[in-house]
Structures are given as structure tokens and as C-alpha cells.
């Protein structure tokens, strides 16, 4: 047995392992600095914009929920002095946004400096942007505040080592009772002499060391240059949002693994003593998923995190089980000769292949789902660092699958046909190559966890937007060039019965429909060609937009012409691909879960790979998961005006606004006041006082306003009107609220 272990850890093997580890480390460091996660999504006033009216509140929204104690924004003048009217705060109605009040600002350029710490992954980022009041942006001021993302290059390496360690423990804990022990019993060979406990201890050591390293890395990031505050920063790190509690839970689980491994390694151990080891190591991987990109998808957290958990667990069963499989093959070759060795090798490969096939199927299903929600648009695979890292992972997985196929289709068949010559020698070598490839894959995964998801990255594009409509006898055409986030020129053309209209007073309103963003009100001016033109930074994001053209003419009724269009990837402003709707994510995940269940149920029917009890348990679990998936699919609400995350289906036409005004006067003005300022006759007796709607309404999309009205707002005096008002009434009320002067 000692000779077998020496072959596993001898000089050639060590050289290959060292080369692979070094390559993985260099791959991680090559893309440093890596993009972190709670990054700027949009701002009011918009980044790089010039506003005529000084804002009362500066708001910035980020891509993840924020930790209030370590997140802040400040407004600085051209000299670098703060002009904020008090400290900033996280928006109580949107945990991913921050607000800071400012006094009336003089004309000039201002810098908004921000620092965020994500509740989910604990990544700390600093950055800044500029806007101007009343005059063009000062180029000297704008050139200084480049965004600086702060993240240690050691973090992706530590995450990869944590994953490798936990996967090795789980893979070993599954291998012993489900592969090695049944295979040995089937051929009548003693199970004594195995060294699986030592292998699991190696995995636990790697995971525990990386776990401590992640805490120190987080503390260093919080302390910054103040090394004397490192000790207190460790305490702060342990109290961070979701990151700190997850670290503590993971530490407890890792500590519990030590006695579990001692029990599994005792002299009289049954193979099922590995069950606690499997459960605890799976718990370590679950804590990793709960702090991942998937957990940051606020409206789809459950589906995305469930898929990520299954992806990690099945990867651990397959890739993490390669090292114990290699140990089993080496032991079989060294401890036995002739027919017993051939039968044991064949049994080991047969059982592992069955489990690997199910695991690979699950990896494909969950991997496709995760790619869809983190990439959204296929071109982003080749246009973002995250996409390239994901493609690198697939490039490494392909030969890994190929080597497994060789063992399944060539090595195993030769052993089954009693032709072990060559097959017995090549099986351990092929599995050793798979182990090295598996380490490289996990190294790339560690990098992926620290890169900004492809869905959040802004890309370049140059397409314009051209839309038109007719209301009564008035033709309204809107052209937006280049039609990408950033500086655009909007031109409105009016014709009444085919004749150009040049005496109108126009108002142009832009509103983002997919998330929280303020409404931009613009005043186009006529040019020499009879068009009404305005240039500015009124489009800040990729996704669905609404432009409302309000036309006022002497002696004519006002005309409101709403347009809805999609902005494609591109531009210099922050932004990314529009996320799939929450209900769409639930539908796709329901189908994926049902497919996973069927895969497990039918995979468990293999006649020789499982014992009767295991087969029955897996079959029941599989069909149960399939039924749960179908249940979720059936229960997912249909698309409609009340569906979560839906955009307003009622165009903001005058009749809708008039209906909303009457509803506001009847149900809302008593608290919020006739102008929505929070000064109604009942406001004095409410704690907390009613919100000033002229400030808060522009910070939310129609769907969130709908939700506030339908369900109320927790811990406030805002009641729920879902049982009082019909769907169309709530949408009419939302349309009216959006007309309140900011």
C-alpha cells in the first residue's frame, strides 16, 4: 500500500501537480484586478450628465444589496470639498440604492464618490463619477475620478482552494460507500487497507486553510492602509451582512468535519460512517453558493441559488470523486493479481461511470441555466472577461469528458471482456489526467466567482431607434441616435394631416421599465428643419424604455404619445443586459428541476450500480423532484398586469392619468398631501411620516410602485390597497404618480 501511495505522490506526479497548480494560479492572476459585484448601475443625476435644475437628492443604485455600515456616497465640488447635507443612507425601499441630500448647488461640475460593500459576497468597491449643474462638465475635474475596484488577487485563488478541498471531501465520502465498498463486496475482496480517510483529511486541510485566508483577505480590504486596525477589521468582517454569518457557519461545519472523519477512520467503522462526512462537506459547498453571484439575483434568488447548489454538489460527486477513484484503482492494481484485480477494476469503473453520467447530466442542465441568467445574451460570452473565463472552463471540461468517455467505452469494455492487457495500466493514468484537469477547471471557477457577471457589463453598439405613432390626426415620430446608453440626440417630428407642426410646446419624458430609475423630463427645441431636438444623457441602461412625447398646441387638446422600445448593448454609461423576468426564471428552473428529477430516477434504475435500498431512495427522490418541478411550473403566475416585475401595461395617456388623479385624491392625499409632499392632514400622527413622493417616486419603476400600492410597505403606515383597488386602478394611479413634479 505504501508503494501505491508513493506512485501517487512520487516525483513525476508532484511535478505534474505543481505545474497544474502554478498554471491555475497564473490564470487567476492574469485577469487581476478583477471586477467585483456591488457596482454602479445608474445614478440620479445620471453619470456624465448636465442638469439645469440643481438636485435636492443625489441617488446611486448598485447591482447588489448594500451593507449600510461600509457603504456611502458623497458629493464633492471641483476643489474636492464635500457639499453633502449630512451623511448618506441606504434607501429603505431599495437596499441596493443610496441617497444623500444636498443643498442648492451652484453651477459647476460635481464629483459623486462612492464606496460599496455587497451584503452577499462582501466585496468592497470604490469609484466615482461626475455630473454638472447649469454648464458643461469641466474636463479637468472629469479626468480625475476614474473608478477603482478594490479586490485582492488572492481571493479567487483562495476560493478555488476552498472548493477543491470541500469537493475532495465530499467526493471521497460518496466514493467509499457507493463505489469502493460495493465493488469490493461484489468480487469478494477485503475492504481493509484503504487510505480514503487520509485523502479526506487533505481536503479538509485545504478547505480550512483557504477559509481562514478568505477572512484575512476580507479584513485587509476593510482595513485598507490602516494596518493597525486589522484586528478590529476581522471583527467587522465577521459582522458583514450575509458574508460574515456565512463565514461563521462554514467555520462551524468545517470544525464538525474533524470528528466526523475520525469516526469514519476508526478501526470498526462501517461504510455508512461516511454519511455525516458527506452531509457536512455538502454543507460547506452550500455556504459557498449562498454567497455567490446566484444569491445576488434579488428577484430570482431561490431558483438561481438552488441551481448553483446542485451544480456544485454534482461537480463534487463527479470531479471530487476522481481522486478517490484513482486511489482505488492504484490499490486494486497493487493489492491483487489476475482475475480478482480485473473484476475489481471493472466494478469500480462501472459504478463510477453510472454516478458520473448522472452527475454530468445534472451539470449540463444546471450549467446552462446558470449561464442563461448570468450571461443573458450569447454575444457576451466573447465580449466580457466573465464570458471568456466561462469559455475557458468549457474548453477544459471537454477533454475531461473525453477522458471519461475513453474509460467508459474502451477501458471498461476491455475489462468486461476479460482482456485486461493495457486497460489495467491505462485506467489509473487516464483518471490521473482527469484529476489534473479537474483542478484546472475549479481554478477557473474560483476566478469566475470574482469576476463581474457578463449580464452587468456594458458593451459597445451603434444602432439607432426610430419609432412613430398617430394620435387622432397628429403623426408623431421619434428618432434617437445612436440609441445606446450615454449621450444621445432625440428628434421629434410632428405632422398634422400631412403638414409640419412647428408651433408646439413639447415635453419629452424617458423612463426605464426594467428596474429602478428616475424619469428624465426634457424640453426639445425646434431646429431649422422643423424638428424638435434635444441632446443629453437621457438613456443610461440596456433594456426596455418608455419615451412619452407630450405635445401642447394653441387651441388644441394636449396629445400624449407614449413609445416603448428596447435599447441594445452598448455605450459608455454603466449598464448591462436586461435580466430575465422573475417568472421566466421560475418557469425555466421548474422545467430544469423536473428534468433533473427524471434524470436521477431513471439513472437509479441501473441493475448493478446500486443496492436495492439506494436504488429505491434515489428513484423516489428523483420522481419527487420531478413532481415538485412540475408543481412550480403550474403554479407560476401567467403574464399579466399584476405579475411581479411586469412593466406597466397601461400607456400613460391622459385618460389614465385623470383616473389616477381621482384615485389619489380619494385614497392617498389625506396622508401624502395634494401635491404628494408627505404633508397631508393625517401625516402629523404617523410614525414614520409619509414619504415625499416627489423624491421617492422617480427612484422606482412602475412595477415597484404597483407593488407598494398593492401590498403596502412593511414597518410604515402605508396600507395595502390590493383588496380595495382593481388592477387597472392601481396602474392608473401609478401613471398619475409619475406626473408629480420632481
Minimum mean pLDDT among 121-125, 250-254, 306-310, 367-371: which range? 121-125
Minimum mean pLDDT among 8-17, 436-445, 490-499, 580-589: which range? 8-17
Check for a shared fold between 40-149 and 465-567: yes
In this predicted model, what pLDDT tens digit does every residue of 587-615 receive, in sequence order? 888 898 899 888 888 887 766 566 677 77
Sorted by where each begins, the domain ranges of the chain are 2-33+152-456, 40-149, 465-567, 654-737
Domain 465-567 has what CATH class?
Answer: mainly beta
State yes or no: pLDDT of 540 exceeds 90: no
Closest Cα to residue 572, out of 431, 494, 458, 473?
Answer: 458
pLDDT averaged over every residue in the chain: 78
The partner residues of 40 in beta bridges, in order of sequence, read 62
State yes or no: pLDDT of 143 exceeds 50: no
Minimum mean pLDDT among 263-267, 278-282, 511-515, 674-678: which range? 511-515
State yes or no: pLDDT of 152 exceeds 60: yes
Q: What is the pLDDT of residue 448?
A: 83
Q: What CATH architecture does domain 40-149 belong to?
A: Sandwich (2.60)
Spell out the long-range contacts of 661-669 with Cβ–Cβ below 8 A and sequence spacing 24 or more: 661/736, 663/725, 663/729, 663/732, 663/733, 663/736, 664/733, 664/736, 664/737, 667/721, 667/724, 667/725, 667/733, 668/733
Closest Cα to residue 650, out of 709, 710, 735?
Answer: 735
Cell of 192: 481493509
- The b/e string for 199-208 (b: 16+ C-beta within 10 A; e otherwise) is bbbbbbebbb
First-to-last alpha carbon distance for the chain, in angstroms, is 78
Phi, psi (5° rounding) for residue 28? -65, -45
Q: What is the pLDDT of residue 195?
A: 83
In this predicted model, what pLDDT tens digit does every residue of 3-22 receive, in sequence order? 433 443 344 444 444 444 33
Q: What is the mean pLDDT of residues 407-423?
A: 62
**Pairing assessment for the beta strands 543-552 and 499-500 based on DSSP bridges:** unpaired
Of 722 and 424, more confident: 722
The alpha carbon torsion through 234, 239, 242, 243 (nearest 10 deg) reads 0
In this predicted model, what pLDDT tens digit does every residue of 508-522 receive, in sequence order? 988 777 655 556 788
To 5 degrees, how large is the angle CA 59–CA 61–CA 64? 150
Greatest mean pLDDT among 349-358, 370-379, 657-666? 657-666
CA-CA distance, 252 to 280, in Å (whole number)?
10
- The CATH number that domain 654-737 falls under is 1.10.760.10
State yes or no: pLDDT of 417 exceeds 80: no
Q: What is the mean pLDDT of residues 516-531?
A: 77
- Would you say the pTM of this structure is higher than 0.75? no
Per the listing, cell 403574464 goes with: 639
Amino acid at each position: 500500500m505504501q508503494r501505491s501511495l508513493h506512485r501517487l505522490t512520487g516525483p513525476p506526479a508532484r511535478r505534474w501537480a505543481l505545474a497544474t497548480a502554478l498554471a491555475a494560479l497564473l490564470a487567476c492572476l492574469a485577469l487581476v484586478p478583477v471586477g467585483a459585484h456591488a457596482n454602479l448601475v445608474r445614478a440620479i443625476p445620471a453619470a456624465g450628465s448636465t442638469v439645469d435644475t440643481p438636485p435636492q437628492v443625489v441617488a446611486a443604485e448598485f447591482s447588489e444589496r448594500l451593507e449600510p455600515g461600509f457603504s456611502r456616497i458623497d458629493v464633492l465640488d471641483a476643489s474636492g470639498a464635500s457639499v453633502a447635507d449630512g451623511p448618506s443612507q441606504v434607501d429603505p425601499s431599495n437596499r441596493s440604492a443610496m441617497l444623500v441630500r444636498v443643498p442648492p448647488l451652484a453651477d459647476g461640475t460635481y464629483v459623486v464618490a462612492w464606496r460599496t460593500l455587497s451584503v452577499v459576497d462582501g466585496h468592497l468597491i470604490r469609484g466615482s463619477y461626475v455630473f454638472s449643474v447649469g454648464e458643461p462638465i469641466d474636463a479637468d475635474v472629469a479626468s480625475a475620478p476614474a473608478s477603482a475596484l478594490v479586490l485582492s488577487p488572492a481571493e479567487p485563488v483562495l476560493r478555488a482552494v476552498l472548493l477543491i478541498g470541500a469537493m475532495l471531501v465530499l467526493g471521497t465520502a460518496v466514493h467509499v460507500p457507493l463505489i469502493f465498498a460495493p465493488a469490493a463486496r461484489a468480487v469478494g475482496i477485503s475492504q481493509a487497507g484503504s487510505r480514503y480517510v487520509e485523502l479526506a483529511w487533505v481536503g479538509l486541510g485545504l478547505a480550512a486553510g483557504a477559509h481562514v485566508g478568505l477572512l484575512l483577505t476580507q479584513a485587509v480590504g476593510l482595513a485598507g492602509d490602516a494596518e493597525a486596525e486589522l484586528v478590529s477589521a476581522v471583527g467587522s468582517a465577521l459582522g458583514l451582512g450575509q458574508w460574515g454569518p456565512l463565514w461563521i457557519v462554514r467555520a462551524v461545519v468545517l470544525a464538525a468535519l474533524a470528528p466526523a472523519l475520525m469516526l469514519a477512520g476508526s478501526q470498526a467503522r462501517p461504510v455508512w460512517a461516511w454519511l455525516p462526512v458527506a452531509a457536512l462537506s455538502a454543507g460547506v459547498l452550500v455556504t459557498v453558493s449562498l454567497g455567490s453571484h446566484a444569491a445576488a439575483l434579488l428577484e430570482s434568488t431561490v431558483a438561481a441559488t438552488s441551481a448553483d447548489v446542485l451544480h456544485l454538489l454534482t461537480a463534487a460527486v463527479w470531479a471530487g470523486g476522481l481522486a478517490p477513484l484513482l486511489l482505488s484503482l492504484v490499490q486494486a492494481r497493487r493489492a491483487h493479481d489476475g482475475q480478482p484485480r480485473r473484476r475489481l477494476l471493472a466494478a469500480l469503473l462501472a459504478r463510477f461511470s453510472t454516478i458520473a453520467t448522472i452527475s454530468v447530466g445534472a451539470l449540463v442542465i444546471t450549467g446552462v441555466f446558470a449561464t442563461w441568467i448570468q450571461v443573458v445574451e450569447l454575444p457576451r460570452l466573447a465580449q466580457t472577461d466573465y464570458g471568456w473565463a466561462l469559455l475557458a472552463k468549457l474548453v477544459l471540461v471537454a477533454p475531461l469528458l473525453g477522458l471519461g468517455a475513453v474509460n467508459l467505452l474502451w477501458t471498461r469494455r476491455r475489462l468486461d471482456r476479460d482482456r485486461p492487457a493495457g486497460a489495467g495500466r491505462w485506467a489509473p493514468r487516464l483518471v490521473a489526467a482527469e484529476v489534473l484537469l479537474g483542478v484546472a477547471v475549479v481554478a477557473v471557477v474560483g476566478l469566475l466567482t470574482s469576476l463581474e457577471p457578463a449580464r452587468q457589463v456594458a458593451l459597445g453598439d451603434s444602432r439607432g431607434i426610430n419609432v412613430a405613432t398617430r394620435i387622432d390626426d397628429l403623426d408623431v415620430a421619434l428618432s434617437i441616435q445612436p440609441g445606446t446608453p450615454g449621450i444621445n440626440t432625440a428628434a421629434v417630428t410632428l405632422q398634422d394631416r400631412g403638414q409640419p407642426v412647428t408651433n408646439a410646446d413639447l415635453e419629452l419624458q424617458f423612463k426605464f421599465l426594467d428596474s429602478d430609475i428616475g424619469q428624465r423630463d426634457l424640453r426639445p427645441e425646434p431646429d431649422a428643419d422643423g424638428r424638435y431636438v434635444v441632446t443629453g444623457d437621457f438613456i443610461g441602461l440596456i433594456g426596455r424604455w418608455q419615451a412619452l412625447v407630450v405635445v401642447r398646441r394653441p387651441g388644441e387638446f394636449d396629445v400624449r404619445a407614449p413609445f416603448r422600445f428596447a435599447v441594445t448593448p452598448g455605450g459608455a454609461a454603466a449598464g448591462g443586459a436586461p435580466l430575465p423576468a422573475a417568472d421566466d426564471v421560475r418557469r425555466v428552473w421548474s422545467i430544469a428541476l423536473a428534468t433533473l428529477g427524471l434524470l436521477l430516477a431513471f439513472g437509479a434504475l441501473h441493475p448493478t450500480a446500486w443496492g436495492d435500498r439506494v436504488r429505491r431512495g434515489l428513484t423516489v427522490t428523483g420522481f419527487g423532484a420531478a413532481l415538485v418541478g412540475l408543481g412550480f411550473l403550474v403554479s407560476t403566475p401567467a403574464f399579466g398586469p399584476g405579475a411581479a416585475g411586469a412593466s406597466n401595461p397601461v400607456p400613460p395617456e391622459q385618460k389614465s392619468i385623470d383616473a389616477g388623479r381621482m384615485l389619489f385624491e380619494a385614497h392617498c392625499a389625506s396622508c401624502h398631501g395634494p401635491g404628494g409632499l408627505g404633508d397631508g392632514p393625517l401625516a402629523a400622527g404617523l410614525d414614520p411620516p409619509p414619504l415625499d413622493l416627489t423624491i421617492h417616486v422617480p427612484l422606482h419603476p412602475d412595477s415597484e410602485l404597483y407593488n407598494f400600492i398593492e401590498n403596502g410597505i412593511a414597518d410604515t403606515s402605508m396600507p395595502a390597497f390590493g383588496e380595495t383597488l382593481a388592477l387597472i386602478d392601481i396602474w392608473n394611479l401609478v401613471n398619475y404618480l409619475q406626473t408629480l413634479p420632481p
